[in-house]
A = this chain, B = another copy of it.
Amino acid sequence: MEIKGGLLKAIKEKVEYTSVEITPDDSEVLVDLKASSLNRRDLWIQEGKYAKIRLPCIVGSDGSGIYDGREVILLPSMKWGSSASHQSTDFEVLGMPHHGCCAEKIAIRPEYIFDKPSHLTHLEAASLPLSGLTAWRALMTQGQAKPDQKILITGIGGGVAGFVLLFAVAHGMEVYVTSSSDNKIARSVALGAVGGENYRNPESYTNLTKAASGFDVIIDSAGGGDFHKLLKIANPGARIVQYGGTQGAMDGISPQILFWKQLTIKGSTMGTREEFANMLEFINLHRLRPCIDKVFPLSEVNQAFDYMKSGSHFGKIVLDHS
């Protein structure tokens, strides 16, 4: 079957909006996609900074659409396997090697199809799956977040960090953020954060300690040379969850702080279908709306990529397929 979609033909090439031949296998059904969204993962694949790249492939891990008359969204975590603690060696993320969601239709197994939260538009729902699931697992499963606890979210502005903010506020936590942008900090406060610090300010860690006196949960996507400072502003028994490594290797971590405070540093990526279902239940219960930064038509998928590269967004970059 011929469909139109955003095809990445090779590493370092532009994504091309073009006709692609897809052939569903016997286990797959066709979903009409109404919206999709981009993730940093899509950029990494385009830049060749991802493991086991197999191209050409339609990009996009996040989709919302219609299947069998139902409004649905798709679980992007494929072949996770049987262990809740980690994914299997067969694990794949939707949108490479399996054709992704930036297209008119997708052929996918029914087990990856979930009911769309009815209070959300397709554009909002399409912004949920990958970032929301990653945020949910990092916050709730690995971070063991509880109401009234204090949480620090580093590098606010990215998709996952935005969902951590959304969920943590709804969960009744006291939320602080860091960013290199004062504007993003102000927007976080408008969305329910108590405060934030610009990490380019050398006093930022001192200020955070003064403001919050210490954090029970820290959700970090940076790693790098400043990561060890997070241990100092963590409360005894705190969980520091790491889901990204934009700043590279972590140095200077004190074993004495780690063991005397009984801290947990926990790596997290994606999530299970049970976590996805729990996240959707939470979103329905609290009638949460994801934060969309900008909408492009599907045919401008390449312009959407360029916009994501600029890094100035706050919230998700969504493609409208209508």
Contacts and interface: CB of A to CB of B under 8 A. Distances in A.
Interface of A: 83, 85-87, 142, 223, 227-228, 236-237, 242-245, 248-269
B251 A251 contact: yes
A243 B245 CA distance: 25
9 contacts: A83-B236, A142-B262, A245-B254, A250-B252, A259-B268, A260-B267, A261-B267, A263-B267, A264-B264
A209 to B, nearest CB: 16
A238 to B, nearest CB: 9
B267 A255 contact: yes
A269 B264 contact: no
A249 B254 CA distance: 5
Given A258-B265, A262-B269, 18 more contacts: A85-B237, A85-B262, A86-B237, A86-B261, A87-B262, A223-B253, A228-B249, A242-B259, A244-B259, A248-B255, A249-B251, A250-B253, A257-B267, A263-B267, A264-B265, A264-B266, A265-B265, A265-B266
Contacts of A259: 242-245, 267-269
Contacts of A269: 259-260, 262
A194 to B, nearest CB: 23
Contacts of A86: 236-237, 261-262
A254 B249 CA distance: 5
Contacts of A243: 259
Which are the 9 A-B pairs with shortest beta-carbon distances? A245-B255, A258-B267, A85-B237, A223-B255, A86-B237, A259-B267, A86-B236, A86-B262, A265-B265
Contacts of A254: 245, 249-250
